[in-house]
Chain A
């Protein structure tokens, strides 16, 4: 499940790489076999199905049923199994505080979050309107906390745009993790999982939503025909994908359960879950009047009726879909290589690698420092300023010719959005973009790559302007320039009299 299901990275899997992956899996299976410790608190899960340690090549029927304790050590792999198998996910807020922090690469104790740019983000005006309109109602003091969380997120990552729905995601982090951890969690979740949606338009959202139909087409031809016939657009799932269902679910317990699952998996998993949800209602959909408003209306309500048992059924179904329809194959060309879908495997590999090396992802004792915090070493550095061009020092932002950001200004006032930068700016940046090399799979190098990746992502909105990055385009441009130059030189030489 882990290595075979990696999403498209654009990289071609080389034989040597595959062999290495197989070796790694073997090692992991051995490690798990002897040392699967402990996760779920036996009291709280007495009635639940006991979670199993499962590796990609163990069949579900091989029931070792080891006891898990959340207080014990647990690898990323086991957390993944736990999130999928345990009916209440990571059980409660206490364990979630630790596990979500780990999965989102934050240290739960001392992450400096107060070093925030004083410059307001252009989207803060919108945010002000939205803090009072979250799906899970917040008390006034919590609304202030939510404002803080989102301001921190946007000011530290000024290239990100706020979209309606992000407030619901941040609300889940606030309610589950509390005001101390939530800012860091919301920020890292945005960087790892939601940044594709946080560009100036929703081009990427359309791509994500389109994937649902690709999956339905593979899985259920009758339903797909209905969709084609009624011309139903996939926008019924907009809030599902943008908020990980937190805009639709009835209560925070359900939302945290789903977040448990999504935080241990690929950013594409919500697409598979959405597909599973639609397929779950296939007979009702097929029985409806064949009109797209009817279908839209029906699907608009299904997420609101979810409960824990249904969610667990759907998660199992989601995994079935994930295994059956490889994302790598289905969406090979769909995602840009700087999409979160494409960069996630670097994080995934790194987390798995730690488990391979016998290093626990979650440490039990409170005093111990999580190594994972080193993943984002620049957290303590001053954030890039709103109009930082990427190569100057951060103090550049006082430059007078650049527009002064104001809370009043709408999105349009952000005149120097990274996407508006000249094409060569991107060429310049992408040429130094870190790429995983298959010759060097050591944990150190993976960590370096991830750190550099995150570092860059924080500063530049580099995904989804494919024509800016595409090597083919730049090669073509160079070829065209070369031809022109040769022609010009020829004409120039022609202008001289023959010797």
Chain B
């Protein structure tokens, strides 16, 4: 088993067809499927990223976008440390629905959740229906991070996941998030981060030395 310092739980939400599953597939498998299957219910993916010299395992829940499924997907908000709220820059309605998604996220997740707003399909510049500025201002007004990505070309996909992880990591360092509380969506890895003064058992320290 690969060692890691922390485990963060993520949830990907947003309207149907915005590319949530494609983002996850691009992030975990580095590939793109033009005709991706529908997500029925909830699917799962995991990958380890490195943030500030620390290995962090991301457990990502990819949810169905159709409204009927919300009663199912809501139960996954609770234990999430990060949420990726995705819309499609070529479909105005997916942007217009962000407010209800955000309301759900605020209501059902823990208060310190880090939310990253993602405008996906930025490779389709010609079909753009939502400007970058609009996305930025929505994110600013609601205290979200913002990034435009393309699951097809892999542009910014890595960044979206890693920036979210970095913010969660900062919150841990600042003491905002409690690593011992599992409902915060964070767990200590099997290899403890550098909490003790014994460097020997920690992969973290070894990495630091190199």
| Bound Cα distance from A411 to B97, whole angstroms | 13
Given contacts A202-B71, A300-B44, contact A135 B37 (CB under 8 A): yes
A236: Cβ under 8 A from any B Cβ? yes
Quote the shortest CB–CB distance from A110 to chain B (angstroms).
34
Binary contact track A115-134/B, C-beta < 8 Å → 1, others 0: 00000000000100110110
Quote the shortest CB–CB distance from A122 to chain B (angstroms).
11
Quote the shortest CB–CB distance from B10 to chain A (angstroms).
11
Q: Is the CB of B42 within 8 A of A238?
A: yes
Which of A235, A300, A410, A411 gathers most chain B CB within 10 Å? A235
| Bound Cα distance from A224 to B93, whole angstroms | 43
Chain A interface, >50% SS class? helix
Closest A residue to B17 by CB, please name it: A129
Q: Is the CB of A247 within 8 A of B71?
A: no
Given A126, A133, A296, which contacts B37 in the complex, CB threshold below 8 Å?
A: A133
Q: Is the CB of A201 within 8 A of B38?
A: no
Instruction: Report B-chain residues with C-beta under 8 Å of the C-beta of A243.
Output: 40
Given B38, B42, B43, B64, which contacts A167 in the complex, CB threshold below 8 Å?
A: B38
Instruction: Report A-chain residues with C-beta under 8 Å of the C-beta of B170.
Output: none
Q: Is the CB of B67 within 8 A of A411?
A: yes
Beta-carbon contacts under 8 Å, A226-252 to B: 233, 235-236, 238-239, 242-243, 247
Q: Is the CB of B71 within 8 A of A236?
A: no
A206: Cβ under 8 A from any B Cβ? yes
Given contacts A126-B16, A129-B17, A235-B41, contact A164 B66 (CB under 8 A): yes
Closest B residue to A138 by CB, please name it: B35
Binary contact track B56-68/A, C-beta < 8 Å → 1, others 0: 0001000010111
| Bound Cα distance from A233 to B71, whole angstroms | 12
Given B36, B43, B67, which contacts A133 in the complex, CB threshold below 8 Å?
A: B36
Instruction: Report B-chain residues with C-beta under 8 Å of the C-beta of A135.
Output: 37-38
| Bound Cα distance from A70 to B105, whole angstroms | 55
Binary contact track A436-447/B, C-beta < 8 Å → 1, others 0: 000000000000
Q: Is the CB of A205 within 8 A of B72?
A: yes
Q: Is the CB of B38 within 8 A of A165?
A: yes
Closest A residue to B91 by CB, please name it: A129
| Bound Cα distance from A126 to B15, whole angstroms | 10
Q: Is the CB of A202 within 8 A of B38?
A: no
| Bound Cα distance from A411 to B93, whole angstroms | 13
Q: Which residues of A contact B (CB under 8 A)?
A: 126, 129-130, 132-133, 135, 137, 161, 163-165, 167-168, 200-203, 205-206, 233, 235-236, 238-239, 242-243, 247, 293, 296-297, 300, 410-411
Q: Would you mind naming 24 contact pairs between A and B with Cβ atoms under 8 Å apart?
A: A130-B17, A132-B35, A133-B17, A161-B68, A163-B68, A163-B69, A164-B38, A164-B64, A164-B66, A164-B68, A168-B38, A205-B72, A206-B71, A206-B72, A235-B41, A236-B41, A238-B40, A238-B41, A239-B40, A242-B41, A247-B37, A293-B59, A296-B42, A411-B68
Listed from nearest, the 7 A-B pairs whose CB atoms lie closest are A238-B41, A239-B40, A129-B17, A164-B66, A297-B44, A165-B40, A164-B38
